[in-house]
Amino acid sequence: MLELTKVNAFHGLNHVLRDVSMRVNQGEIVSLLGRNGAGKTTTIETIAGLIKPSAGSIRMGEHLLSTMHSFAICKSGVGWVPQGRRLFPELTVNDNIRLAVLKMPSTERASGLQKAYDMFPVLAQRMTTLASNLSGGEQQMLAISRAVIGEPRLVLMDEPSEGLSPAMVAELAVVIKSVAAQGVAVLLAEQNIHMALAIASRHYILDKGQVCYSTQTDELNRRPDVLLNFLGVSTKSFVPVS
């Protein structure tokens, strides 16, 4: 579904991504792990077309994303949950979602709006509330609903659990797994190793803009030294995410 081949990207003169290669299959959740500044967000934004790669290719099925503008990437079936949510704070919940369904055919917009409320019933109760007045968890629900309506083929999630309570993280994990169960490929950039191990089947660890380790969840559970060496975390401190 998604394949990056030797992707390089810059922030100004700063060479951030160096020959990054990875893939995500249909219906698969893959996590992107790494310390702060490792290049996780840059990877997500490069796939989304916000940063143009200086070398390498990014493909999603028949689409060569690395040559497309960000709006075209969105229309091709890529949903994005950005770090920090990036909602329209002075618009209501309903208006934020209505903006998201504009990419859908006019005959499908009403069902797209309803899909968001079916996924997160609490948003239906807050539809006239300004996005700025939602709780952190509700704002993340709104950000995710915008990304997954319209039947995307791929969803990019950048630190979706940031600032959320453990109970909200557990609820979020259920939602992400339900999205993948519909055949959507999910690439999850996450600092919360607990959630990443609970829901992702495979993992890429970034360090200084390079993929330094690629592995499956079973191996990481058997090899706590990998997380300790590359991320400085120990599985002994993990709190399970159901």
At 237 the pLDDT is 47
Among 16, 27, 18, residue whose Cα is nearest residue 202: 27
Distance between CA atoms of 192 and 162, rounded to whole angstroms? 8
Model confidence at 239: pLDDT above 50: no
- How is residue 179 written in tokens? 């999205």
The answer on 103 and 67 residing in a single domain is: no
Model confidence at 228: pLDDT above 90: no
The answer on 16 and 40 residing in a single domain is: yes
Model confidence at 46: pLDDT above 90: yes
CATH at residue 211: 3.40.50.300
At 162 the pLDDT is 86
From 96, 126, 151, the end of a domain falls on 151
pLDDT digits (tens, 9 = 90+) for 50-105: 999 999 999 999 999 999 999 999 889 999 999 888 899 999 999 999 988 887 88
**C-alpha distance from residue 90 to each of 86, 135, 136, 171 (Å):** 12, 14, 16, 26
From 111, 130, 151, the end of a domain falls on 151
Boundaries of domain holding 53: 1-77+158-242
Q: What is the DSSP string of 54-96?
A: SEEEEEETTEEGGGS-HHHHHHTTEEEE-TT----TTSBHHHH
The answer on 65 and 163 residing in a single domain is: yes
Model confidence at 171: pLDDT above 50: yes
From 109, 126, 151, the end of a domain falls on 151
Mean pLDDT of the 195-206 span: 94
pLDDT digits (tens, 9 = 90+) for 120-165: 899 999 999 999 999 888 998 899 888 888 789 999 999 988 888 8
DSSP state of 124: H
Residue 161's SS3 state is coil
